[in-house]
Amino acid sequence: MFNRLLQLYPNAISASKPIVDSNYFWLRSDNNYIGILNDEVSEKEKTILRALFPAETDELPPLSIIAKEWREFLKNDGQLPATYTENIRFIHFSISDIRDEFLFCEWEEAMKSLFSNEVTIVPFNRNQGVIIEEQSNISITEEELFSAIQAFESDFFFKIHFYIGRFQETNLSLKSLFSLEQSMLELSLSEHPEERIFTREKLIPLYLYRLIPHSEGRILFADVHTLLKDDIELAETIKTYIENQSNATLTAKQLFMHRNSLQYRVDKFIEKTGIDIKSFHGAFFAYLACLHIDDI
């Protein structure tokens, strides 16, 4: 497989261990490493390659006993660690554009200070890991996490993405939940690298859309595609309108258009397609159709 990568990326280099050079993106297979120039690989390609070759290198910071237990449970065949509460959740993170001088321990300390209760941070490599939060009366909110992102990116000079999982009873099914949420994080990084925070509610339409075979999607959304293929702006308008829960004022502001112009476009879409996007089912179908337009 690595030989194939070297053919695809002729300027890539192989080594027995990663070289400290910010120009390269590193992958690992067994005891071999390959470095690909960052300029020659897109963020979407990086996401796929990370999934195939997790680069768990010697750059991992020292782990606490509880962090090691969680890592063994989630990644290998370790036992489920003990917790003080009945429910926990995973907050997955992915860091990109890391500089050589980045100190994980400093970021970890800053991250822990955001929570009202003790959390466990488990890095899987230099770029990705998970925060394990036990449920309490005061859990960190999406808004608080978003504010922290702005501070982190300013202080540490990197980009960070979070997938906020749901609280679930602490049992062996957590491992399956973790794997599914990791898939959701990879999907968000691949499809919306500009976004910083994702939840299952935000991602589930895209996740379900990806499960529809392409051939069936072309049939399901054919009429909407016919209408929108020559009017991409209308597709973006409808998609944004639905994402904003049919809030015309907010949508018009985001799209820099007059509210009356927005209402005209919405009415035009409903009239042409017969899909009432002001209803739940109509909005959900129309949103999937707009995702299909993005893939054309």
Q: Domain boundary at 199, 224, 244, which?
A: 199
Domain co-membership, 70 together with 195:
yes
Domain co-membership, 184 together with 74:
yes
In-domain check, residue 206: no
Q: What is the pLDDT of residue 178?
A: 94
Domain co-membership, 159 together with 238:
no
How far is 125 from 123, CA to CA, in rounded Å? 6
Q: 251 to each of 261, 266, 290, how far by Cα in Å?
A: 11, 11, 16
In-domain check, residue 111: yes
Question: Over pLDDT 70: what percentage of the chain?
Answer: 90
**Any idea what DSSP says for residue 130?**
E
**CB neighbour burial string for 187-218, b if at least 16 within 10 angstroms, e if fewer:** bbbbbebeebbbeeebbebbbebeeeeeeebe
Q: What is the pTM of this model?
A: 0.73
Domain co-membership, 75 together with 186:
yes
In-domain check, residue 219: yes
In-domain check, residue 266: yes
The predicted-structure confidence for 126-148, as pLDDT tens digits, reads as follows 788 999 999 988 888 899 899 88
In-domain check, residue 268: yes
Q: What is the pLDDT of residue 127?
A: 80
Q: What is the pLDDT of residue 117?
A: 87
State the CATH number of the domain containing residue 222: 1.10.10.2840
Domain co-membership, 15 together with 36:
yes
Is residue 274's pLDDT more than 50? Answer: yes
Q: Domain boundary at 171, 199, 227, which?
A: 199
Domain co-membership, 171 together with 130:
yes
The predicted-structure confidence for 200-259, as pLDDT tens digits, reads as follows 998 999 999 989 998 899 899 998 888 887 788 888 999 999 999 899 999 999 999 999
How far is 128 from 62, CA to CA, in rounded Å? 15
- What is the full DSSP assignment across 223-241? HHHHHHTT-HHHHHHHHHH
Is residue 96's pLDDT more than 90? Answer: no
In-domain check, residue 134: yes
In-domain check, residue 207: no
Domain co-membership, 17 together with 106:
no
Mean pLDDT of all residues belonging to the chain: 85
Structural domain including 161 reads 65-199
Helix (H) or strand (E) holding 33: strand 32-37
Q: What is the pLDDT of residue 263?
A: 92
Helix (H) or strand (E) holding 62: none
Domain co-membership, 79 together with 194:
yes
In-domain check, residue 127: yes
Q: What is the pLDDT of residue 258?
A: 92
State the CATH number of the domain containing residue 170: 3.30.70
How far is 234 from 114, CA to CA, in rounded Å? 41
- Total count of domains within the chain: 3
The predicted-structure confidence for 185-213, as pLDDT tens digits, reads as follows 988 888 888 889 999 998 999 999 989 99
